[in-house]
Homo-oligomer: A and B are copies of this chain.
Amino acid sequence: MPVFPARDLLAQLEWRYAVKEFDPRQRIPADSWDALEQCLVLAPSSFGLQPWRFLVLTDPGQRAELVEHSWGQRQVADCSHFVVFAAPTNLGPESVDTLADHTAKVRSVPSASLDDFRELVKDFLDAFDPETRVAWATRQIYLALGQFITSAAVLGIDTCPMEGFSPPDYDRLLGLTEQNLTAVVCCAAGYRKDSDKYAALPKVRFPREQVMRRL
């Protein structure tokens, strides 16, 4: 028996859309936001490497300042919680050791039992140049973003994923560069305004038989 009724899940995914106008007066309750943060922490990633940082922006002044670096999109300022997804620019062997050491601790196994794993993942990253590593981390981050958006939808929380912003400006204004991070995608979360005309528009999706092939 499914844990959630499939019908309800689909209803929430139909209900979801990329919000254009957030209601700035409506805040996500602390317990719901706490759950969404945990959804991000629990997101899967290749090798379990978690090559990401999630920056939660709540300061109104800072968010207002970011609007002009976000193609003028008001969602940055008007949503309840604004998340900047950042990729490490220094992903490398130390990242693998950090994960392996943490794994040994969490699973109470000798660190040496993870030597094959260390070697495998280090070799994997080693084959990439720095730019390709950021690209790989970014793909993992989009997967986490997918988990975030879907989780929010099943909790009845609105979102708007955003690629339309200037990463160099974000990196500078949020002090990311000196932390070896770079902003790769964002997501506004909160509640739609009743007046958002996009909420009522029919969802546009290609017919299933067009995007799906059964072999």
A residues near B, CB below 8 A?
Answer: 1-4, 6-10, 12-14, 16, 18, 31-32, 35, 37-44, 46, 48, 50, 52-59, 62, 99, 102-103, 106-107, 135, 138-140, 142-151, 154-157, 161, 163, 174, 185, 201-206, 208, 211-215
Contact = CB atoms under 8 A, between A and B. Distances in A.
B212 A37 contact: yes
A58 B213 CA distance: 11
Contacts of A174: 215
Interface centre among A7, A8, A39, A146 (most CB of B within 10 A): A146
Contacts of A214: 55-56, 58
B155 A204 contact: no
Contact of A147 (B35, B56, B150): B150
A52 B35 CA distance: 30
Given A13-B147, A99-B204, 5 more contacts: A40-B212, A42-B203, A44-B149, A142-B142, A146-B149
Given A12-B3, A42-B13, A142-B143, A212 B151 contact: no
A177 to B, nearest CB: 15
A94 to B, nearest CB: 14
A1 B139 contact: no
- Copies per complex? 2
Given A8-B4, A38-B10, A142-B142, A54 B107 contact: no
Given A6-B32, A46-B163, A149 B143 contact: yes
29 contacts: A1-B156, A3-B155, A3-B156, A7-B35, A10-B38, A10-B39, A13-B39, A14-B42, A16-B42, A37-B208, A40-B211, A41-B208, A41-B211, A44-B161, A48-B204, A53-B213, A54-B211, A54-B212, A59-B215, A99-B206, A102-B206, A103-B204, A106-B202, A107-B202, A107-B204, A135-B135, A138-B139, A142-B142, A174-B215
A30 to B, nearest CB: 11
